Amino acid sequence: MASFPEKPEKSTASDGALPQQSGPVSKSRERVGWDDYFMTIAFQVATRSTCSRKHVGAVLVRDKMILATGYNGSLRGLDHCDDVGHLLEDGHCVRTVHAEANAIVQAARNGVRIEDACIYVTASPCFNCFKLIANAGITRIVYAEFYRDERIFEFSQAMGIELVQANVQRASVIEAP
């Protein structure tokens, strides 16, 4: 028969106080903040990217819980840029679906509500992705590096969407081999 650990003794203090902890509590390191935590995860998600021109990752979060992730990659079931080459138009690879769009699609495919969520993105959204983010009801965008389109600043302010540049950079995240 399996043996289980003994149940800890209850406090005998009459005032209902909790029992004393054994040993000192270490305060030698500070916990990472939520923005840094989720941005670091976005950088890890970016390591799944299948377009070598730019590795981008996105994480959708609400109430400190991850709702969905996405990275830039080819249409589901089709060849990847890294395998067959890039399909370029006006200097942009159009073979891929952007990380933000893939995160929104993943949430939709799984029936996850993303209204009032925050999206963490390793690069600021292009204008088309910004429009998807806005219409999905996402209220906060945290990005690591600015990427190309300054219209997002004006439109985010007009729509009341918080736009924040994070301090976490790719160099501080362990890269995939």
Active site residues: 100
> If DSSP codes are grouped into helix, strand and coil, which group holds residue 156?
helix
Give the amino acid at 6: E
> If DSSP codes are grouped into helix, strand and coil, which group holds residue 27?
coil
Q: What is the rounded CA–CA span in Å between residue 86 and residue 90?
A: 12
Residue pair 122/57 in contact (Cβ under 8 Å)? The answer is yes
SS (H, E, C) 65-126: EEEEEEECEECCCCCCHHHHCCCEECCEECCEECHHHHHHHHHHHCCCCCCCCEEEEEECCC
- Kindly list the distances between the CA atom of residue 97 and the CA atoms of 24, 72, 102, 149, 170, in Å, as whole numbers in the listed order: 51, 5, 7, 17, 21
